[in-house]
Structure 1
Amino acid sequence: MTPEINPEAINFEMVANLLVSENVQVVSPAELHGLLVGQLASGARLQADIWLRTACELMELAQLEHETSKIGLLGLYQQTLGQLEGADLDLSLLLPDDDYGLSQRVEALGRWCQGFMTGFGYQGKQTDASLSAESQEALQDLSQIAQVASEVEEDEESEADFAQLEEYVRMAALMLFSECNTPDEKAPPAPQLH
């Protein structure tokens, strides 16, 4: 019997465990989530098999070995799309929590931004010329954050700076999603868990 996964409660640890179960070492949960958010922000809506194939490409896998991995990735898709489309701007970046050191969280935010830039560019629908100046600037900022060095001082000031940077990234992703996704576009339904 396949264990149930609540698609509203998928977090960094769950995706990290999924990657371990699939023996994936080339991608982090943050980068995988960034890729997904980038694709959705660019206007993409993926059928279940295409999302799983895209995730496998990033993870350098021919296919997923475990049914729970498929369920988890489809749940991540549903959860993320729901957060992006929600009216309350509650997108949660899939990053390690405060139990991790600040350097690890900074590195994860950089990898999330790398994934986002890959996902946003993956669709090829949006060109810089088609975006507002504010969105173009946000993409440039995300590109720079993707290059961030993870060696940081572990102090309160650095923690505050990180919190501001994380919030900026979150709001930039929501702004790009809002600009590139019009409500009247006909999109395929979100992948469903069975």
Structure 2
Amino acid sequence: MSLENVPVDLPDFELIANMFVEEGVRAVSPSELHGVISGHLAAGARLKPAALEQIVNELLDIESLSQDSSKSVVTNLYTATLGCMDSMDLEFDMVLPDDEDEISMRAESLGRWCQSFLSGFGLYGKHTDASLSPEAKETLNDLGQIAQISSDLEELDENEADLMEVQEYVRMAVLMLFTECNKALEEKEKEFAKAKPENNRLH
């Protein structure tokens, strides 16, 4: 069964955290898992179940997920993320702690999300610097800077406002990268489809 085109809700931070506990995973944040999957998708990847499982296993440093419920969470995370990115209503959300959690935890999770996004984007490897627009390159640089965000923040209104602003920037930046990279892939596929009959006539 394909992982795409099945509408599901995006698993939240707590649900994924509980899954990690069941799998004995301690050193990885739910934000990192969502970030790396989002990075692959933004770069143009479409992951079959085996490829998705391999990415998850490598990130979590495990041989395989032991619970069927964990596999369902991962599949739903992938499917919901792709659906949100591919929609025209800008509904994409990142898996981050709730707003009620400490600001230091939320800032750290955002940094981890961005770092993992860049890792997933780079691992797909289909977009070199030469193929990206100047805006996309600048956006990737910005995400690299945000990945280094300090988690040593006090619970102040101004810090809260700044974090929310940065979070919204990341959200829109990811959608911009997804649009550029996936549109480029679609155009290449169309060009290939048009050229294929001509190539066949040469043989």
Q: TM-score higher than 0.5 here?
A: yes
Q: By how many angstroms is 1:147 displaced?
A: 1.1
Q: Which has the higher contact order (CA 8 A, sep 6+)?
A: 1
Which ranges in structure 1 are unaligned for 5 or more consecutive residues? 1-5, 187-194
Q: Residues 143-168 of structure 1, C-alpha deviation per residue, up to 9 Å, x if partnerless?
A: 11111110012111110000000000
CA contact (8 A) 1:110 1:148 kept: yes
Match of 1:166 in 2: 167
What letter matches 2:26 in structure 1?
Answer: Q
2:107 and 2:56 mapped to 1: Cα distance? 23
Q: By how many angstroms is 1:88 displaced?
A: 0.3
Match of 1:113 in 2: 114
Runs (4 or more) in structure 1 with deviation over 4 Å come to none
- Secondary structure of 1:126's counterpart equals coil
CA contact (8 A) 1:7 1:72 kept: no
Q: Residues 73-98 of structure 1, C-alpha deviation per residue, up to 9 Å, x if partnerless?
A: 00100000000001001111000011
- Secondary structure of 2:78's counterpart equals helix
- Secondary structure of 1:181's counterpart equals helix
Match of 2:192 in 1: none
Q: How many residues align?
A: 181
Q: By how many angstroms is 1:7 displaced?
A: 2.9
CA contact (8 A) 1:31 1:115 kept: yes
**Percent same amino acid among aligned pairs?**
49
- Secondary structure of 1:51's counterpart equals helix
Structure number having the greater helix percentage: 2
Match of 2:201 in 1: none
1:169 and 1:83 mapped to 2: Cα distance? 15
Match of 1:140 in 2: 141
RMSD: 1.3
TM-score norm. by structure 1 comes to: 0.90
CA contact (8 A) 2:31 2:109 kept: yes
TM-score norm. by structure 2 comes to: 0.86
- Secondary structure of 1:180's counterpart equals helix
1:33-182 equivalence runs, <5 A: 33-182=34-183
Larger Rg: 2
2:22 and 2:79 mapped to 1: Cα distance? 21
1:98 and 1:60 mapped to 2: Cα distance? 29
Q: By how many angstroms is 1:140 displaced?
A: 0.3
